[in-house]
Amino acid sequence: MAQIESREMEIKQIASFVAGFQTENQLESEIMTALLCGGINSSELSTRLEVPEAVVLDSLNKLKERGAVHLRGQEWSI
């Protein structure tokens, strides 16, 4: 069990590093890391990150302009 938890932590650290590669600030990095788990709408993402939805949407749109994220319907994804 400890070996699985250790491997899971290692994978999350690698994923966070990769997610942070295309970000310009901490919030963008946190958004990218959250999106690694799959698509999510901006309201849920705002709640998860404890950041106002307008701020999250602004960052998501900037990431979209750079091609880092995609909007499909109402879900944002990498």
Each residue's pLDDT expressed in tens, for the chain with a length of 78 residues: 777 777 776 776 676 676 666 678 889 888 988 888 788 999 999 999 999 999 999 999 999 998 889 999 999 998
Q: With a threshold of 0.85, does the pTM exceed it?
A: no
Contact by Cβ (8 Å): 60, 31 = yes
Number of domains the chain contains: 1
Check the CA dihedral 34-35-38-44 and report its sign.
positive
Residue 47: give its domain's CATH number: 1.10.10
Domain that holds residue 47: 2-77
